[in-house]
């Protein structure tokens, strides 16, 4: 989401503090002091999918690919997704077994190919709230899934749920 607000100089500490320490990097209890700084927000609406875009893709009125990226434990509690969405496990993309590190390039390529995703098509990544999808977005972006198709999109929790105005019987269970 930092990219959405115009901050590109961002890094992720993959594997967290344990990975940092395992790599022999220094740690300290000193509290750093930084001068105050001003950040000017420059939102990039093209990075965020709207409710209407998601509905259009789910109804086949758009060529955009919908990708459901919840972690396996959360996903197992669901029994429906957004119509026409493809499942791509965030637990595999972000390798829970390795502390949440983004999977190696060959593994990412394998996951993307096995999901049948087309790198030339616009892709909307979702997880239900946007939290897990943000990490999955970074993992798939690393392999060019979003770059070649022009517009990159993330459906996050700030957008009203795509099917909230429909009767409960007509909503995917993940959107109730």
pLDDT in tens, the chain (176 residues): 787 888 888 777 777 888 889 999 999 999 999 999 998 999 888 778 888 888 898 899 998 888 888 877 777 777 667 888 888 888 888 887 777 788 888 998 899 899 998 888 888 888 777 777 777 777 877 777 665 443 445 555 444 455 555 544 444 434 43
The answer to the question of residue 97 being in a domain is: yes
Q: How many domains does the chain have?
A: 1
The pTM (predicted TM-score) of the whole model is 0.71
Q: Is residue 125 part of a domain?
A: yes
Write the CATH number for 153. 3.40.250.10
Nearest CA among 47, 88, 70, 77 for reference residue 132: 70
| Position 142 in a domain | yes
Neighbours of 166 (CB within 10 A): 13
Structural domain containing residue 116 = 45-175
In a domain, 32, yes or no: no
């Amino acid at each position: 989401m930092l990219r959405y607000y115009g901050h590109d100089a961002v890094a992720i500490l993959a594997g967290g503090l344990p990975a940092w320490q395992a790599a022999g990097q220094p740690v300290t209890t000193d509290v750093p002091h930084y001068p105050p700084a001003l950040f000017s927000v420059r939102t990039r609406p093209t990075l965020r999918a709207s409710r209407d875009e998601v509905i259009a893709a789910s109804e086949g009125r758009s060529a955009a690919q919908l990708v459901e990226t919840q972690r396996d434990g959360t996903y197992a509690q669901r029994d429906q997704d957004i119509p026409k969405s493809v499942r791509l496990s965030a637990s595999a993309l972000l390798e829970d077994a390795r502390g949440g590190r983004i999977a190696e390039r060959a593994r990412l390529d394998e996951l993307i190919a096995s999901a049948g995703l087309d790198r030339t098509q616009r892709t909307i990544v979702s997880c239900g709230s946007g939290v897990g999808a943000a990490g999955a977005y970074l993992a798939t972006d690393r392999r060019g899934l979003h770059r070649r198709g022009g517009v990159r999109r993330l459906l996050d929790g700030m957008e009203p749920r795509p099917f909230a105005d429909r009767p409960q019987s007509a909503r995917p269970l993940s959107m109730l």
